[in-house]
Amino acid sequence: PKKQPRPKAETPRGFRDYFGHEVSERAEMLRAITEVYHRYGFDPLETSAVETVEALGKFLPDVDRPNEGVFAWQEEAESEGAPATWLALRYDLTAPLARVFAQHRLNLPTPYRRYAVGPVWRNEKPGPGRFRQFYQCDADTVGSGNVAADAEICMMLADAFEATGIGRDDVAIRINNRKVLNGILSKLYGLVTANAAPAGEGRDQDWDQWSAGVLRTVDKYDKVGIDGVRQLLTSGRKDQSGAFIDGQGLTPNEADMVLAFLQSGRSTSAETIAQLRDIVADVDAGREGVDELETIAELLEAQGYGGRALIDPSVVRGLGYYTGPVFEAELTFEITDEDGRRRQFGSVAGGGRYDDLVKRFTGQAVPATGISIGVDRLLAALRAIGRAGDGSAAGPVVILALERDAMAGYQAMCAELRNAGIRAEVFLGGGNMGKQLKYADRRAAPIAVIEGTEEREQGLVQLKDLVLGAKLSAEIETREEWTEQPAQRSVPRGDLVSAIKAMLSGST
């Protein structure tokens, strides 16, 4: 056989592994969130990771680069000459939900409330902290056009954050309605096209192209501020790198209509809504949007969520598929970023109403609304404020295996501890006491249990407090040095479990 070179032991570019507490802390956070979702009547759904490219609808498989954006491959045809199917890893949890609802709608309750948790994959250029596989946690209500469903999503989100340990003052849920902005934009488009010179510069774009450009610009409000948006809506501006970004070509007066909308937020939802009513007074679609916001605000107020979820016209959400209310959740506490600057933590969840996703499959519009939590960002936030993990990820009590013949006895101690609900293990590698204690340190073990011949003959075990020991932080090489340490004690073998329980609870 030919000799093959050794394979490299590496994750593919942009992928990573999660170890120990990284896994358990995320699981714990997601459990807290999904318990809230469950209480709200949402059912879990786990779709397959693989979808047909056709169902994902992201692109057509006959383009030059089928892997643009998603990881895709061609399925072997079932029979000779059968058309080839392209498969791909899902890039979010919403597209599969639309497919599931279209496929199973006759057997699902309507409205269908579901939550989903799992990895999604993006075939994008990886960067620092930017991976090609990451978790999403979504909740959606499919089949209800009632804005009470949108209000419910916002209340549930507020409860979910609270369940993870984030204080009410530390999170702001902000709500807008795409219909209001669309109303303003359609009025504006009427003005723009009426004013346009025939084949005028950039003013002959169709509505889709034009409104998408303006929406993209407005969505940059968080980054570039109100003056930046004004420049980008009109004649353009230089970005941080010095590159010039073309403007959308609005006149200053036209831009002011958009800016007035963006700046119509007030300290209460009721005041904001009054403000919005003025702005859209003569735009039908806009008024409908404001009415919806008012209903949502009333429902939130009635349930006591008025202060936790606010109407805010500056929320845009870039995604083109939203058709009504849109939501965004921001953590408002400050953290120190990589550059040592204090800044607000920022957005950790977003969503809104999208009434057209199921229609792709069935031809019938199905109203739907939902929220997606950025799992990794929220977990990072919990870590930043010391709320990730309940300590159950702590290391096990490690029983040193100093004499090979005594293994059954070590295992017996271990079984006693486990039966008492204490996480415990026997060292199963090779090496002297020093090496075994180093192993225990690496395991973050709170206690090492030591029984040599001498102890066994006396019916004793030695318990070494490794937390205290770490403070003393002496390098231990010999038995003699070790027994001089104060962080250890000798107890009767029969007291093993009770003594360790006492040490773990910190009562000694």
Stretch 272-311 residues interacting with its own copies (CB under 8 A): 298-299, 302-304
Binding flag, residue 464, its own copies (CB under 8 A):
no
Q: Minimum Å distance from CB 204 to its own copies?
A: 18
The tokens for 320 are 């083109």
Kindly tell me which of 66 and 249 has the beta carbon lying closer to its own copies: 66
Binding flag, residue 144, its own copies (CB under 8 A):
yes
Q: Minimum Å distance from CB 234 to its own copies?
A: 30
Query: Which residues share a beta bridge with 116?
Result: 138
The tokens for 405 are 């013949």
Kindly tell me which of 41 and 190 has the beta carbon lying closer to its own copies: 41
Among 23, 82, 365, 470, binds its own copies (CB under 8 A): 23
Write the DSSP string, 454-471.
HHHHHTEEEEEEHHHHHH
Binding flag, residue 149, its own copies (CB under 8 A):
yes
Map the footprint of its own copies across residues 24-43, applying CB under 8 A.
24, 27, 38-41, 43
Edge-to-edge strand list for the sheet holding 171-177: 112-121, 133-142, 368-374, 342-353, 325-336, 171-177, 309-311
For residue 110, what are the contacts with CB-CB under 8 A and spacing of at least 6? 142, 143, 144
Binding flag, residue 205, its own copies (CB under 8 A):
no
Binding flag, residue 71, its own copies (CB under 8 A):
yes
Q: Which amino acid is at 381?
A: A
- Strands 309-311 and 133-142: what pairing? unpaired
Q: Minimum Å distance from CB 343 to its own copies?
A: 30
Segment lying near its own copies (by CB under 8 A), choices 73-81, 173-181, 223-231, 264-272:
73-81
The tokens for 292 are 């919806």
The tokens for 452 are 């040599």
Binding flag, residue 82, its own copies (CB under 8 A):
no
Among 33, 100, 137, 188, binds its own copies (CB under 8 A): 100
Kindly tell me which of 84 and 194 has the beta carbon lying closer to its own copies: 84
Kindly tell me which of 343 and 442 has the beta carbon lying closer to its own copies: 442
Angstrom distances, CA of residue 502 to CA of 357, 390, 426: 58, 19, 20
In angstroms, the CA 84 to CA 377 distance is 39
Q: Minimum Å distance from CB 332 to its own copies?
A: 24
Q: Minimum Å distance from CB 371 to its own copies?
A: 15
Q: Minimum Å distance from CB 194 to its own copies?
A: 25
Q: Which amino acid is at 123?
A: N
Number of residues in contact with its own copies under rule CB under 8 A: 100
Among 122, 237, 443, 464, binds its own copies (CB under 8 A): 443
Segment lying near its own copies (by CB under 8 A), choices 68-76, 217-225, 474-482, 498-506:
68-76
Site string for its own copies, 109-128 (x = CB under 8 A): xxx-x-----x-x-------
Burial profile 216-237: b = 16 or more Cβ within 10 angstroms, e = fewer: ebbbbbeebeeebbbbbbbeeb
Segment lying near its own copies (by CB under 8 A), choices 231-239, 317-325, 378-386, 403-411:
403-411
Q: By three-state DSSP, how is residue 354 classified?
A: coil
Binding flag, residue 428, its own copies (CB under 8 A):
yes
Binding flag, residue 481, its own copies (CB under 8 A):
no
In angstroms, the CA 98 to CA 56 distance is 9
For residue 177, what are the contacts with CB-CB under 8 A and spacing of at least 6? 289, 290, 292, 293, 324, 325, 326
The tokens for 363 are 């031809």
Site string for its own copies, 307-336 (x = CB under 8 A): ------------------------------
Q: Is the dihedral of CA 76, 79, 80, 84 positive or negative?
A: negative
Among 62, 76, 339, 457, binds its own copies (CB under 8 A): 76
Segment lying near its own copies (by CB under 8 A), choices 144-152, 262-270, 313-321, 349-357:
144-152
Q: Minimum Å distance from CB 52 to its own copies?
A: 5
Site string for its own copies, 165-204 (x = CB under 8 A): ----------------------------------------
Binding flag, residue 493, its own copies (CB under 8 A):
no
Please say whether the beta carbons of 357 and 197 come within 8 A.
no
Angstrom distances, CA of residue 75 to CA of 58, 61, 79, 103, 143: 17, 12, 11, 21, 33
Binding flag, residue 133, its own copies (CB under 8 A):
yes
Binding flag, residue 226, its own copies (CB under 8 A):
no
Kindly tell me which of 130 and 223 has the beta carbon lying closer to its own copies: 130
Kindly tell me which of 153 and 331 has the beta carbon lying closer to its own copies: 153
Burial class (CB in 10 A: 0-12, 13-18, 19+), 319: middle
Among 57, 61, 228, 452, binds its own copies (CB under 8 A): 57
Burial class (CB in 10 A: 0-12, 13-18, 19+), 78: exposed
Phi, psi of 226 (to 5 degrees): -70, -35
Please say whether the beta carbons of 171 and 344 come within 8 A.
no
Binding flag, residue 161, its own copies (CB under 8 A):
no
